[in-house]
Homo-oligomer: A and B are copies of this chain.
Amino acid sequence: MSDQLPQGFRAAGVYSGVKRSSNKLDVALLVSDRPAVAAGVYTQNVVCGAPVHLNRERTPSETVRAVVINSGVANACTGEQGMRDAVEMTESTATACGLAAQDVLVMSTGLIGEHLPMEKICAGISDAASKLADHEQALIDAARGMMTTDTVHKIRSRQIELDGRRVTITGIAKGAAMIGPNMATMLAVVMTDAAVAVADAQHGLKDAVDESFNCISVDGHTSTSDTVLLVANGAVGGEALSGGELAKFQATLVEVCEDLAQSIPADGEGASHLITVEVHGCQSRTDAVTIAKTIADSPLVKTAIAGADPNWGRIVSAAGYAGIAFDPTKVSLLINGMLLYEKGAPVEFDAAAVSASIRDNRDTGIVLLLDEGSASARFWTTDLTAEYVRLNADYHT
């Protein structure tokens, strides 16, 4: 039995023939042995794929039993065919597992532009249902079954004691590395055996996503299919969490989501740095996130880091066009802990040392200090390398 898979869950990942190589799994299935509370947070894109529409209809829920995911070809269509295919994936799962289709959620990711090869996918779902298991490899196979351009599967897990019971919170995710004409999709499913009330699950997931998945970007492009699901089956027993125990659960949920979120830019194809942008001293968290995101999305900042250049000018000026008012004469900036800019002016610093610290580490820390208030935010992104462009421009050749 897996340490990471919460109680009462089984998982599977199989190869259905959709991807080119049988080394690459392309159908993932997660099943709870009892009805579970489920919450979802979805893309803000006004164009969104059929699975997002279907999940939106089906969450929040107190009776979810399964999540089915296909990869390789995305169901990114907004039309009738897309919705028929999404429903059919849930029906196929329901039949194979002896559930009601209404209690199955669905995700889809991969190349766009063609309809789903439903025959292969449904056969894959049957196959996955027959292989459902609660051992470690089953969870890894499920995580692999949702990968597209990810180079590694992504599983993050925490255990804590709540109300005297050992609770597990485990998430699997796929990243947003942007090669191929896919839709930059970020998908995650977080499972827990804790008992959580449906309203708490929905609010808690929304807050956790705001602090994690909504604080990463690889290229600032919001997918039409981005989805994060939380499935809480209460298998550890007891009443739904409340008060301080619920708060502890929430803090741990945030940690799992942050770990999963960071794993996505960390695996960005063609990237040579994972950049953490921290902004402190803002009037509100929204201000801090907006400034951090603007710095993180600046191609000039991202190319400077790729080139190991401690270019304070690009960072400070990016902050300046975020649309948030602040006093520029009170701004200070550190890169990798070294002070480059203090109260509105550059300071003497050892440029060679800062450059070496960027060049020699995969992680780069940018810290911007304002003096407007006490709110802060962290945002994670990648640098911008020629390799990234090559992967994104020349994927057809």
- CB-nearest residue of chain B to A312: B113
Asked if A386 CB lies within 8 Å of chain B CBs, one says yes
CB contacts under 8 Å to B, within A265-303, are: 297-300, 303
- Chain B residues within 8 Å of A183, by CB: 313-314, 317
Distance in Å from the Cβ of A200 to the closest Cβ of chain B?
A: 29
Selected contact of A389 from candidates B78, B222, B317, B384, CB within 8 Å: B384
* Pairwise interchain contact A303-B47, C-beta atoms closer than 8 A: no
- Chain B residues within 8 Å of A182, by CB: 313
Asked if A334 CB lies within 8 Å of chain B CBs, one says no
* Pairwise interchain contact A328-B78, C-beta atoms closer than 8 A: yes
Asked if A385 CB lies within 8 Å of chain B CBs, one says yes
Asked if A392 CB lies within 8 Å of chain B CBs, one says yes
* Pairwise interchain contact B392-A389, C-beta atoms closer than 8 A: no
> By the criterion of a CB under 8 Å from any partner CB, how many residues of chain A are at the interface?
64
* Pairwise interchain contact A222-B320, C-beta atoms closer than 8 A: yes
Asked if A152 CB lies within 8 Å of chain B CBs, one says no
* Pairwise interchain contact A313-B113, C-beta atoms closer than 8 A: yes
- Chain B residues within 8 Å of A326, by CB: 46
- Chain B residues within 8 Å of A304, by CB: 181, 392-393
Distance in Å from the Cβ of A72 to the closest Cβ of chain B?
A: 16
Interface residue ranges, A against B (CB under 8 Å) = 43-48, 76-79, 112-113, 178, 181-184, 219-224, 297-300, 303-304, 306-307, 309, 311, 313-314, 316-321, 324-326, 328-329, 331, 344-346, 355, 384-390, 392-397
The 3 closest A-B CB pairs, nearest first, are: A307-B393, A47-B320, A222-B321
Given contacts A181-B314, A222-B321, A386-B393, 11 further A-B contacts (CB under 8 A): A46-B321, A46-B326, A48-B320, A181-B309, A181-B311, A183-B317, A223-B317, A304-B393, A307-B392, A385-B389, A386-B389
